[in-house]
Amino acid sequence: MTTIKDSVHDYIELDPTAEALLDTAAMQRLRTIRQLSTVQLVYPSANHTRFEHSLGVYHLASRAVDRLEVDEPLAERLRAAALVHDVGHGPFGHQTEAAIERHIGRHHDEIEWLLADSEIGAVLENHGLEPEAVAATVDGRGPLGELVSGSLDVDRMDYLVRDAHHTGVPYGTIDHARLLYALRIVDGELALEAGNVATAESALIARTLMNATVYRHHVSRIAGAMLDRASERLLADGHVNPDRFARLTDAELLATFADYEPTADMATRIRERDLYKRAIWARRQDVPDRFAGLEYDRTRALEREIADFAGVDPSAVIVDSPSEPSSPESRARLVVDGELQRLEERSSLVAGLDACAREIWRLGVYAPPAVVDDVREAAADVLTVDPVIAP
Amino acid sequence: MTTIKDSVHDYIELDPTAEALLDTAAMQRLRTIRQLSTVQLVYPSANHTRFEHSLGVYHLASRAVDRLEVDEPLAERLRAAALVHDVGHGPFGHQTEAAIERHIGRHHDEIEWLLADSEIGAVLENHGLEPEAVAATVDGRGPLGELVSGSLDVDRMDYLVRDAHHTGVPYGTIDHARLLYALRIVDGELALEAGNVATAESALIARTLMNATVYRHHVSRIAGAMLDRASERLLADGHVNPDRFARLTDAELLATFADYEPTADMATRIRERDLYKRAIWARRQDVPDRFAGLEYDRTRALEREIADFAGVDPSAVIVDSPSEPSSPESRARLVVDGELQRLEERSSLVAGLDACAREIWRLGVYAPPAVVDDVREAAADVLTVDPVIAP
Amino acid sequence: MTTIKDSVHDYIELDPTAEALLDTAAMQRLRTIRQLSTVQLVYPSANHTRFEHSLGVYHLASRAVDRLEVDEPLAERLRAAALVHDVGHGPFGHQTEAAIERHIGRHHDEIEWLLADSEIGAVLENHGLEPEAVAATVDGRGPLGELVSGSLDVDRMDYLVRDAHHTGVPYGTIDHARLLYALRIVDGELALEAGNVATAESALIARTLMNATVYRHHVSRIAGAMLDRASERLLADGHVNPDRFARLTDAELLATFADYEPTADMATRIRERDLYKRAIWARRQDVPDRFAGLEYDRTRALEREIADFAGVDPSAVIVDSPSEPSSPESRARLVVDGELQRLEERSSLVAGLDACAREIWRLGVYAPPAVVDDVREAAADVLTVDPVIAP
Amino acid sequence: MTTIKDSVHDYIELDPTAEALLDTAAMQRLRTIRQLSTVQLVYPSANHTRFEHSLGVYHLASRAVDRLEVDEPLAERLRAAALVHDVGHGPFGHQTEAAIERHIGRHHDEIEWLLADSEIGAVLENHGLEPEAVAATVDGRGPLGELVSGSLDVDRMDYLVRDAHHTGVPYGTIDHARLLYALRIVDGELALEAGNVATAESALIARTLMNATVYRHHVSRIAGAMLDRASERLLADGHVNPDRFARLTDAELLATFADYEPTADMATRIRERDLYKRAIWARRQDVPDRFAGLEYDRTRALEREIADFAGVDPSAVIVDSPSEPSSPESRARLVVDGELQRLEERSSLVAGLDACAREIWRLGVYAPPAVVDDVREAAADVLTVDPVIAP
């Protein structure tokens, strides 16, 4: 049996299907997609890729199906789905997914199209697996699909620990070995054995702390917003076909930006870490409801309005008003006194963590350093917020 | 400069005062007091001592005074206080402190008596430090005393990380390097620079998770309660002088128990991990208010009453009803928009963590395995609670 | 299945036999024997015990028999032997074993007597295992006994990593997961699959580096020699029965020293870290052959001779001339081109490491600080060595 | 002061010069050069970059100059040189340096040209540093230049630990904190204080073990040889200007290969991990001296000869016969009895490690899988070696 050394899980053993899947070009491409995309601009060690993360998720899925004594071939389907679950990611992962969805109407978890008639699909079929069933599992559907995508999934168990390991922050509080020991199948659904409230909470805590210090760091949000606007321009102008776009690597996207005049500046700025700065950074309570969680078209219209006020080019203003945070982990099921309960029903901490997630929400308006003061003033007027940078 | 290798902080550099203090018998005794006393009965790797913890607290204090640019000789006083802060601990640390307080009316943080006219006192004086001032600092009083004992103290920064390291649980979420970078002195008081809410919360989170999985683990609470009852017996019977008692090592206390017939059984049970079992383990909402957070005399009276009902010897019943948890960390000060605020005013998470702390509260009644069923029935009657073991 | 959290191997799963064995008083006693005895006087974090080490060795044995597909009941015997392999250790482990051997003629690996007619023996029999067979396995005899005690044993794999983890030195270079993957049974004997020379060498390297920085540190050797002399006195005087001596805990031995006037000084010195100092510390090439690797009687005679010359009490001189180092790891077998070869035949590094081991050899003469200069002069005369402390 | 979180050294504090240097495009480019280039094809977690490594080397240099009490402005020069020491690296670092040297006659450590008249040069001058002096320091020349490039340099201290951390192998045995504590300046040269033989050896050991398991892994050597041949083709054909070539990123080089028909196949093979295989893999003792450590022209001629024999295209044969290994660490100076000695004079281990390095030497001949058998036969004939793959 082939084994691979991993910096998080040590040795990972591959079954023959996994080995064949790894040899496909689509899986090898994940070596070029950084797991945390532009977070490395803040945490320079965060260069781990979706390839090693995929191996980690596969490893945890293997251990889970062993413990849960899931029979073959379902076990094999779950392992295969865990391994390929990120194969639909575009360049820079989550940071281009909105642009891709706008232009091809498909989320990265919907990979049925990708598995059909493809090298991966052929490998799956050669090993007796149906591509559609694997694709459904990746999307959290079908028997035990929630193990791959759900409130207790192995995807999150891996990425929280791996992201903490590579950024260097001490917030990877997931005790994944204990979570795996505590997993049970009750009426066909995953649940945690009694006595594991703290273990389940710790996953939620980890994500809350990682959001505050890593995932929602303003430098990463700025870089992400810049990537989105440049991607939109490429796609809206028809400069790149959306399907081809979705298969680019991180570096190829930047190269594509660089080669097209309207996006060339963004490429240079990201490569040289000469990013837009915050003109506005406002807490939820300081933002009128009508400006929180904006639709994309409305966002772009506001950008033009602010740019107009500030007398700058529309591309010099980025408005970033994310939707309210969600916490799927709080829906995790626990066996309590023989009954299934949701974590949120059992844990007073969940409400606190939800509040905490809302507290780190910020409305951002970003602009090139040279015009950031003008944009601040204009944005404060248009959005009726204070022209300040909240801590 | 002498350096010592530590498994948590790597190399620790000692100033001459620290080196001389380490050579005293009182400091060397701390090598024999386990930091987590009986937790090693649950987590076998938790054998670290108050000696290494003391070195760790000294190290963090040194780094803090460097960063805060505290002048000598105050800096030296703070470092010395950090090093000796646990020298007043009796055998098994916190697990005998209530018994000691009942018999000598003194808490382990009150070490003025210990520093006066002692080897440690002499060392301090030889190095130009006043023992009383050092003792006050250990108690959190005087200039920057809160660095040693307060809402942001280096004691907690060390023990949370060290306890996590040695138990193996992944909940040592303190980023102490960042906490130290963020420390400021504002109007003579310690505060965290703006933008460190998540850092401050993480300390509180760490303690909450450690409470749930380590510090309040029922096996450790049972062993602690057994130690308390045996200690009380020794002291009440006058078998050991309280001052001598307070200076015993962990092993010497067990040996003393073994040598005295009324406590010999407790010694054997702890040594062989043949502990009392839970007869009752009830959540706060299932316990009448009058039985929550009991005074010691009332506890002992209830034990006798339950023993009487159950027809067993009074020593075969232990009632353990702790007081409500407190969270000093939530009082930590943060600089927000130039003003000082308490963490609890800034963080919605604090309320959730407080609720969480209350949720892990349990009323326990413990008895030897042979009579645990009889005691359960009797205790349920006397305390009007359900005869069950809550998860 | 019961699981235990370990700071080195994370979760360890116990089979029913292991669980029952852990409940014996003899196994629980190992919680009170520090794995590295007096090394904690140099590395304050080195407080781990033979109990957690025993769990670790059990864990590695479990994984090894799984990988090697060893059938039950041999697999169970190997796991049980791994768990109890250190149960014969006296107080302070290796540091009293010579004294015990002199007085009861038995090495700590010979535990047949201990398993017969004992609580452990009964547990083994209840679970269908023969105590004699388990005892033989602990001694490295019988089928696959070398897995527990041999050139590739799981004992060493655990302690090298564990000792590095707890001292904080970065020299636990054993990749035990890879060693376990590489294990093969060839003609009934353990060997490493081809391509693992570096893996095998790394075990040898780890021990060499640990010897130089930890195991042979002079402070630990001095404390060990002091323990030996005090133990000898206790036993020679008949103050303690040898069999009882062998079952004491670390703390009980110190208490026994303290209670007996001729050894009381040693107890105080070790407790307060007020140790003998080096009078002589000489390299192998600077020591006449007749003084290298001395028999015990000869050593004691030299001590008396030196004391006489120096005009001090014989108890004030300790001569410590260890035998030449051995390296069992170099006998490990590797499969090379289908043939078995010893590591030492394949690896040029082995000779270098052997030379390295000889280089750290030192002849020591130790004495109380007050008389160390007098003893140095006398010892230099008697032993015809230079009166210096080699680096 | 700005601080950056690093996964190896935790927080790194930047002086103003460092902060300004980091903002240059040349330093930001290092985010796109993997420290271990193609090693990630074997160890998927090895995605760390020369950017984070540069920060680590800067950090260790800062600590070293603090400890050695080096005065400003020399200290600042050393820190700046540490930070920019890798700025001369081409794409894929060491794996294209031979090609670059052949075409522009310059090694990556010669960066005088790069610092003159450049953004970096301007930053250095603005902060009062002479670019030529910094360039000399990077090359190991001038006062304390050996701290940046020499037998005890901070470059190696960082990369050994960092590479081990990211690959997941346990061989980062450098105790860099202790090395830094032990550094002394004796007669203007760096040396280790007495008593640090084991510490110095451990650095050499780490590199030996890393060579065997990571740096000289055959998959990495094959990928490196493929990169070299494709780079040579690009440069020899004049498809890319050598100076531009030297400034490409890893991804840009692959894209350049892909865009040029003669190298397109290499790009696909590396991207999809569909590499050449070993036709020959022979130990030093099995290779005639005339074929060990070949000049480049001779190598290419042999390739053509083998290809001719095998009836395949010359591009389908790669001969890889590295020169003998060197070990600069063995020249490290130690203070012994007040005199300076080289480590190799003091340590018997050095010879063993040198032998060990020679043992892992292999002559490799690589070819596409489809023709590897034909190439093996032809290569065995031409090189008069056995047609086998040594372990």
Cis peptide before C391 (omega within 30 of 0): no
- Name the fold adopted by B2-216: Hypothetical protein af1432 (1.10.3210)
User: How far does the CA of residue C175 sit from the closest CA of chain A (Å)?
Assistant: 10
User: How far does the CA of residue C158 sit from the closest CA of chain B (Å)?
Assistant: 14
The answer to whether residue A217 scores a pLDDT higher than 80 is yes
In terms of C-beta distances under 8 Å and separation of at least 24 residues, what long-range contacts does D289-295 make, across chains too?
D291/D321, D291/D363, D291/D383, D291/D384, D291/D385, D292/D321, D292/D324, D292/D361, D292/D363, D293/D321, D293/D322, D293/D323, D293/D324, D294/D319, D294/D321
Query: Which two three-digit tokens encode residue B227?
Result: 């130690």
Q: Is B326 in CB contact (< 8 Å) with chain D?
A: no
pLDDT in tens, C175-196: 889 999 999 999 889 999 988 8
Q: Is C23 in CB contact (< 8 Å) with chain B?
A: yes
Are A10 and C177 in contact (CB < 8 Å)?
yes
Q: Is C126 in CB contact (< 8 Å) with chain B?
A: no
The answer to whether residue C109 scores a pLDDT higher than 80 is no
Are A5 and D167 in contact (CB < 8 Å)?
yes
Cα–Cα dist A267/A258, whole Å? 5
Q: What is the pLDDT of residue B223?
A: 97
| Contact residues, chain B, for C169 at CB < 8 Å | 5
Are B181 and D10 in contact (CB < 8 Å)?
no
Provide the percentage of residues in chain C whose pLDDT is more than 70.
100
Under the banding of pLDDT at 50, 70 and 90, the label for residue A158 is very high
Cα–Cα dist A342/A345, whole Å? 5
Residue A280 β-bridge partners: A365
B206 vs A108 pLDDT, higher one: B206
| Contact residues, chain A, for D249 at CB < 8 Å | 251
User: Which residue bears the tokens 């299932």?
Assistant: B286
Mean pLDDT of A39-43: 97
| Contact residues, chain B, for D3 at CB < 8 Å | 181
In A286-326, beta strands by DSSP E: 318-320
Contact D95, D165 (CB under 8 A): no
Q: Is C165 in CB contact (< 8 Å) with chain A?
A: no
User: How far does the CA of residue A380 sit from the closest CA of chain B (Å)?
Assistant: 19
pLDDT in tens, D132-158: 999 999 999 999 999 999 988 999 999
| Contact residues, chain B, for D177 at CB < 8 Å | 10-11
**CATH (residue range C218-324+359-383):** 1.20.1250
Q: What is the pLDDT of residue D345?
A: 87
pLDDT in tens, C248-286: 999 999 999 999 999 999 999 999 999 999 999 999 999
According to DSSP, the β-strands at A318-320 and A183-186 are unpaired
Subunits with at least 3 CB pairs below 8 A relative to chain B? A, C, D
CB pairs under 8 A between C and D: 89
Cα–Cα dist A147/A155, whole Å? 8
**CATH (residue range A218-325+359-383):** 1.20.1250
The beta-carbon neighbor of A349 closest among B175, B202, B356 is B356
Which residue on chain C is closest to B53 by alpha carbon? C45
Are A347 and B356 in contact (CB < 8 Å)?
yes
Q: What is the pLDDT of residue B373?
A: 97
Chain A (221-260) residues lying within 8 Å, Cβ to Cβ, of chain D:
249-252, 255
pTM for the model stands at 0.93
From A60, A57, A42, select the one nearest A89 (Cα to Cα).
A57
Under the banding of pLDDT at 50, 70 and 90, the label for residue D58 is very high
| Contact residues, chain A, for C3 at CB < 8 Å | 181
Are A213 and B198 in contact (CB < 8 Å)?
yes
* Least reliable range by pLDDT among A43-47, B48-52, D199-203, D370-374: D199-203
Q: What is the pLDDT of residue C346?
A: 83
pLDDT in tens, D81-131: 999 999 999 999 999 999 999 998 877 777 888 888 799 999 999 999 999
Fill in the amino acid letter for C166: H
Q: What is the pLDDT of residue A324?
A: 83
Provide CATH 1.20.1250 ranges for chain D.
218-324+360-383
Contact A90, A29 (CB under 8 A): no
Q: What is the pLDDT of residue B351?
A: 82
Which residue on chain C is closest to D353 by alpha carbon? C349
The answer to whether residue C337 scores a pLDDT higher than 80 is no
Give, in degrees to the nearest 5, the angle at Cα D297 between D377 and D222: 55
Provide CATH 1.20.1250 ranges for chain A.
218-325+359-383
Cα–Cα dist B155/C238, whole Å? 47
Mean pLDDT of A223-232: 97
Are B32 and C5 in contact (CB < 8 Å)?
no
Q: What is the pLDDT of residue C330?
A: 85
Provide CATH 1.10.3210.10 ranges for chain D.
3-216+325-358
pLDDT in tens, A161-179: 999 999 999 888 788 899 9
Which residue on chain A is closest to D7 by alpha carbon? A168
Q: What is the pLDDT of residue D289?
A: 95
pLDDT in tens, C38-64: 999 999 999 999 999 999 999 999 999
- For chain D, give the longest Cα–Cα distance: 65
Q: Is B213 in CB contact (< 8 Å) with chain C?
A: no
Which residue on chain A is closest to B204 by alpha carbon? A205
Are D168 and A6 in contact (CB < 8 Å)?
yes
The beta-carbon neighbor of D40 closest among A23, A31, A274 is A31
User: In chain C, which residue ranges form alpha helices assigned H by DSSP?
Assistant: 16-22, 25-29, 50-68, 74-84, 94-104, 112-115, 119-126, 131-138, 154-167, 176-182, 197-210, 218-236, 242-246, 250-259, 261-271, 296-310, 343-346, 348-359, 372-383
Provide CATH 1.10.3210.10 ranges for chain C.
2-216
Which residue on chain B is closest to C9 by alpha carbon? B168
CATH of D218-324+360-383, one of 1.10.10, 1.20.1250, 1.20.140, 1.10.3470: 1.20.1250
Dihedral (CA of D114, D117, D119, D122) sign: positive
**CATH (residue range A3-215+332-347):** 1.10.3210.10
Which residue on chain A is closest to D162 by alpha carbon? A45
Model ipTM? Answer: 0.93
The pLDDT profile of chain B, 391 residues, written as one tens digit per residue, is: 799 999 999 999 999 999 999 999 999 999 999 999 999 999 999 999 999 999 999 999 999 999 999 999 999 999 999 999 999 999 999 999 999 999 988 777 778 888 887 999 999 999 999 999 999 999 999 999 999 999 889 999 999 999 999 999 988 878 889 999 999 999 889 999 988 888 888 888 888 889 989 999 999 999 999 999 999 999 999 999 999 999 999 999 999 999 999 999 999 999 999 999 999 999 999 999 999 999 999 999 999 999 999 999 999 999 999 998 788 888 889 888 788 999 888 887 888 888 888 888 999 999 999 999 999 999 999 999 999 898 8
Provide CATH 1.20.1250 ranges for chain B.
218-324+359-383
Which residue on chain D is closest to C175 by alpha carbon? D170
Q: Is D213 in CB contact (< 8 Å) with chain C?
A: yes
Are B8 and C45 in contact (CB < 8 Å)?
yes
SS3 C389: strand
Q: What is the pLDDT of residue B265?
A: 96
Contact C16, C73 (CB under 8 A): no
The answer to whether residue C110 scores a pLDDT higher than 80 is no
Q: What is the pLDDT of residue C247?
A: 94
CATH class entry, domain D3-216+325-358: mainly alpha
Are C5 and B55 in contact (CB < 8 Å)?
no
Chain A (342-371) residues lying within 8 Å, Cβ to Cβ, of chain B:
347-353, 355-356, 358-360
Cα–Cα dist B129/D137, whole Å? 46
Cα–Cα dist A186/A338, whole Å? 10
The answer to whether residue A109 scores a pLDDT higher than 80 is no
